């Protein structure tokens, strides 16, 4: 790129360019006292510094012309020729399946955390509905409440759900789910891009197919689910339901992608070497 930019700065028609160095040299030769002050013509037989610079500048055009085919030849940009070293080896090829296996398990964990946080919200709705079924407390003729000998089944269920909700709140599932989703999004997108680059390093091309398309779909679903978070934080139930639906499809794609990923791992062991 630097050579190309240098080529653009150089004059393409040198016959219309009058080199200032020759004019300066002629004026210095006609005035020896000035040349001694400048220190240029100390050795008349040796080329001057200005002349050397002019020669190098004149030579830059043919050098750039020679280097230009290397920038335009697309074959030199192809991968899988050994020039990437360890990036084409088996070690780097196995990084993607190992990390994606961990991300799949982490996806299930993040889903569990999200379900628990949803349970914190829905369990309160259940308690409110059960409270509507509780019969009013009987009172004596003088207005004193009469305590029943034992709580009703509905009241027992309310107590159980209340204790369960307290346990869920102590679990801090809201914050844990948010942190897990953030980690999953960042590492997932990074690893999805790295997987495609790693394939290019090893083979010089990508292979359109179920594994590549499913991986692209999973990455898009991660981003779409994360984009719904602001609306969810404002209490939008539609956004929450859509968030759950997108992540459910994400898990289905993840499971469907596993067999094709295993086939690719077998090919990695077949066509690559350590390291």
CA distance 20 to 50: 9
| pLDDT tens digit sequence for 188-207 | 999 999 999 988 888 888 88
CA distance 270 to 264: 10
Q: What is the pLDDT of residue 38?
A: 44
| pLDDT tens digit sequence for 40-84 | 444 444 445 444 444 444 444 444 444 444 444 434 334 456 677
Average of per-residue pLDDT across 241-246: 96
Handedness of CA 20, 25, 31, 33 (dihedral sign): positive
Q: Give the position of tokens 């590492």.
A: 187
Element (H, E) at 267: helix 237-271
CA distance 225 to 239: 9
Domain spans in the chain, listed from the N-terminal domain onward: 2-74, 85-134+151-271
pLDDT greater than 60 at residue 209: yes
Q: Residue 55's closest CA among 13, 1, 26, 14?
A: 14
Q: Residue 262's closest CA among 96, 83, 31?
A: 96
Average of per-residue pLDDT across 161-181: 94
| Residue with more model confidence, 175 or 83 | 175
pLDDT greater than 50 at residue 183: yes
For residues 203 and 79, is the Cβ–Cβ distance under 8 A? yes
Q: What is the pLDDT of residue 142?
A: 73
What are 77's two structure tokens? 């940009």
Whole-number percent of the chain with pLDDT over 70: 68
């Amino acid at each position: 790129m630097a050579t190309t930019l240098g080529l653009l700065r150089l004059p393409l028609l040198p016959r219309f360019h009058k080199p200032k160095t020759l004019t300066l040299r002629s004026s210095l030769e006609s005035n020896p006292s000035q040349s001694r002050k400048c220190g240029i013509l100390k050795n008349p037989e040796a080329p001057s510094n200005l002349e050397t610079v002019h020669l190098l500048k004149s030579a830059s055009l043919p050098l750039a012309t020679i280097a230009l085919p290397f920038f335009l030849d697309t074959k030199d940009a192809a991968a899988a020729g050994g020039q990437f070293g360890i990036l084409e080896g088996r070690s780097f090829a196995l990084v993607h399946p190992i990390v994606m296996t961990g991300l799949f398990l982490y996806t299930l964990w993040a889903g569990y955390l999200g379900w628990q946080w949803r349970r914190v919200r829905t369990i309160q709705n259940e308690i409110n509905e059960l409270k509507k079924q509780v019969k009013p407390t009987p009172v004596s003729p003088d207005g004193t409440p009469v305590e029943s000998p034992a709580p009703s089944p509905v009241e027992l269920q309310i107590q159980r759900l209340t204790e369960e909700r307290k346990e869920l709140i102590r679990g801090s599932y809201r914050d844990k789910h948010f942190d897990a989703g953030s980690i999953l999004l960042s590492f997932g997108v990074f690893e999805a891009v790295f997987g495609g680059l790693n394939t290019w390093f090893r083979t010089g091309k990508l292979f359109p197919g179920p594994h590549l398309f499913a991986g692209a779909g999973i990455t898009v679903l991660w981003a779409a689910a994360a984009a719904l978070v602001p609306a969810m934080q404002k209490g939008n139930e539609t956004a929450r339901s859509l968030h759950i639906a997108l992540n459910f499809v994400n898990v289905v794609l993840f499971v469907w992608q596993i067999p094709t990923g295993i086939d690719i791992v077998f090919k990695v062991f077949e066509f690559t070497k350590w390291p």
